[in-house]
A = this chain, B = another copy of it.
Amino acid sequence: MRCEPFEADRVAELADCVFSTLPHTASMEACGALVERGCRVIDFSADYRLRDPNLYAQWYGASHSDVSHLGEAVYGLPEIYGDDIRGARLVANPGCYPTAAILGLAPLAAGDLIELRGIVVDAKSGVSGAGRTPKLAYHFPECNESTQAYAVGTHRHTPEIDQVISEIAGAPAEVVFTPHLVPMDRGIFTTMYVRPKRNFTETELLDTYRGYFGAAPFVRVTTRIPATKDSAGTNFCDVTLRVVRGQIVVLACLDNLIKGAAGTAVQNFNLMHGYPETTALL
C-alpha cells in the first residue's frame, strides 16, 4: 500500500466517501474540508460525536475548530439514528463503549421506564480497545492475568452515552461509567444497573427490547446470558437483562473491533449509499 500526504482536493477528486481514522483534533481539520468538497465522511474520531462544542472542550481539552459542520454531523449508531444516517454528509462513528451501553439502555430510555440519573454502566474490555501503541500498561506480562478498572468517572466516552440516552429519553440522563481492562484481545461486556419507575417482569422487558430492535439486523435480544466470544469476529451486539431486587440488570456484549468500530462504519456506509444494511457484514 502506498501512502500519500493528505490533500483535501486530491482526496475529493478520487473518493465519494471517506473513512477518516485520524486521531481527535486532527480529524476535524480534515473532515470539514472534505465535506466542503463534496465528499461524504465517516469519522472514527470523537470530533463530531458531541453536539455541544463546550462539552467537547471540557472533555477533550481542546476547542472545537469545525463548529460549522458540527451541527449537521449525525451520530453514527444505525440502530438509533438510521434514518438520519441515510442522508448524512458527515457521520460521527461511535466509540466502542457507547455502542454497547446505548444499545443496552435505549429501549428503557425510549419508553420512559427508568430513572435517568445515576444509571450504572460497568464495562469490561479486551486490551485492543486501548489501541496499538505499546505502553507499560499493555505490555503482556503487566496486563495478562490481571483485571482492573481505569479512568473511573473520567472516561471520555461518558458524555457520548449521556447525550444519546438523553435524546432518546427526551430528558437529561447521566451515567456512572466505569471501564475495566480484562486480559483478552477483543470484546466488550457491559453490565448496566438501572432503577425502573415501576416494577416490570423480565418477560415484559424482553418483549420491549424485541419490539424496539425488531428491524435491527445486528442486535440479538437473547434470553440466556451472552459471552463476548459469542459475538467475537461479528457485527452483532447481544443483549439480555434480568430483574434483581427491583433493579434492571442489562447485559450487552459485542466485538469492539467490529460492532464497536469498523463494522458499524461499514453499516453506516451501507445506509448512506442505499445498500442493504448487512452488505459485507454477514
Contacts and interface: CB of A to CB of B under 8 A. Distances in A.
**Closest A-B pairs by Cβ, 5 of them:** A153-B244, A146-B229, A148-B227, A134-B134, A127-B140
Interface of A: 117-118, 120, 122, 124, 126-128, 132, 134-136, 138-150, 152-153, 174-178, 180, 182-187, 189, 191, 193, 195, 225-229, 232-233, 242-247, 249, 251, 253
A140 B75 CA distance: 31
A227 to B, nearest CB: 4
A147 B189 contact: yes
Given A152-B225, A176-B244, A249-B153, A139 B132 contact: yes
A182 B134 CA distance: 18
Given A120-B247, A127-B144, 18 more contacts: A118-B195, A120-B193, A122-B193, A124-B180, A126-B145, A132-B136, A132-B139, A134-B134, A134-B135, A134-B138, A134-B139, A141-B185, A144-B184, A147-B187, A174-B245, A176-B247, A182-B182, A183-B183
A118 B246 contact: yes
A186 to B, nearest CB: 8
Contacts of A175: 245
Contact of A139 (B126, B138, B178, B184): B138
A245 B186 CA distance: 29
A12 to B, nearest CB: 32
